[in-house]
Amino acid sequence: MMRLVGRLGLGWLVWRLVGREPAPSFPPGQVHPFRLAGRSVFVGDREFFVREAGSATNSPLVLVHGWGDHTQIIWHRLIPLLEARFRVVAIDLRNHGRSATDRGRLQITDLADDVAGVMDAVGIGSAPVFGYSLGGMTVQELAHRHPAKVSAVILGGTTAGGLGMALRLGASALWFGGRAIERVSRVEFALAKHAYLLRRGAVAGRHSRWLWNELMDRDPSLYWEAGFAALRFDSTRWVGRLSMPSLVLIPIDDQLIPASSQYDLAGRLADPELVELSDARHEAPITHAKQIAETIERFLDKGSGE
């Protein structure tokens, strides 16, 4: 059996090194899902890509995406629902999308400081900030390190971290394996995620070519380094001291961050509003965009007294 596995592995390696790059087939009539142009701003000597929607006179709302995503993949259905009410500012995190890359060791604190710098660069003194998944970890750190920048914390599909040693070592082993595979070939992971998002209806078939190109346009070393940063994250000692209003959105059927971890985060916050997204998985900002937009609006309206 081991000999067969070895031969199959060697065959795969040779195929991926010298063979053509496979791709899914795309139905006719392919279009881009949301043509929202962006711009670059500098924080120190690093360049960050932001997309903005809505009137500049609207109240600002900052969106921070998750691991391996960027401002269009995860927000392409949510931003159109929010732009009539808010000045929406969506940021590509460091090592993601079209923002600057840094091949050193990455920490969630770095991402939080980046977001604070981008807010300054686009003229936002303070705003509600919605972070999803890795973005939720970033927003917790942002509120902890730069509390004056965050008028309200909105967290979705995320956790306070603090993994035990056994879980952290197990996940790290998987991360190392994933990084090794992707350094040889990005196709396998991209094919799996592409097929999954189409099957779930998170992305329409007419957008499948766009999705494929976005999934393939990533650096595996940078991608997995962000994953290691998420494994190291731990806000359990201080997240309960955050003083700003908070909203926690929990996708009940989340397949990546267990709902139990998300409830644990909500339980650590001081008097959060908690909203469960029934039948939602980790791709909830796409599949449940309408419910999320309505929930955010109600939460922020209540906070402003409207």
In a domain, 43, yes or no: yes
What whole-number distance in Å separates Cα of residue 98 and Cα of residue 59? Answer: 25
Sorting pLDDT into bands at 50, 70 and 90, what band is 12? Answer: low
In a domain, 220, yes or no: no
What whole-number distance in Å separates Cα of residue 178 and Cα of residue 192? Answer: 13
In a domain, 173, yes or no: no
CATH of residue 42: 3.40.50.1820
What whole-number distance in Å separates Cα of residue 291 and Cα of residue 276? Answer: 10
Residue 160, H or E segment: none
Neighbour order of strands in the sheet with 273-277: 38-43, 46-53, 86-91, 59-64, 127-132, 150-156, 246-251, 273-277
Place of tokens 């995860």: 74
Q: What is the DSSP letter of 207?
A: G
Dump pLDDT digits (tens) for 213-270: 999 998 999 999 999 999 999 999 999 999 999 999 999 999 999 999 999 999 999 9
**Which whole number is the average pLDDT over 178-202?**
93
Q: What percentage of the chain's residues is helix, strand, coil (to nearest 5)? A: 45, 15, 35
What whole-number distance in Å separates Cα of residue 85 and Cα of residue 78? Answer: 12
Q: Confirm whether pTM is higher than 0.85.
A: yes
Secondary structure class of 186 (helix, strand, coil): coil
**Mean pLDDT: which of 14-28, 81-95, 155-169 is highest?**
81-95
In a domain, 7, yes or no: no
In a domain, 98, yes or no: yes
What is the predicted pLDDT for the residue at 306? 52
In a domain, 110, yes or no: yes
In a domain, 167, yes or no: no
What whole-number distance in Å separates Cα of residue 201 and Cα of residue 64? Answer: 23
Dump pLDDT digits (tens) for 75-111: 999 999 999 999 999 999 999 999 999 888 999 999 9
Query: Is residue 1 scored above 80 in pLDDT?
Result: no
Closest residue by Cα to residue 78 from 96, 95, 93, 66: 66
Closest residue by Cα to residue 82 from 98, 62, 64: 62
In a domain, 213, yes or no: no
Closest residue by Cα to residue 275 from 258, 262, 286: 262
Residue 171's CB is within 10 A of a number of other CB atoms, namely 15
Q: How many domains does the chain divide into?
A: 1
Sequence length of the chain is 306
Domain carrying residue 145: 33-162+234-304
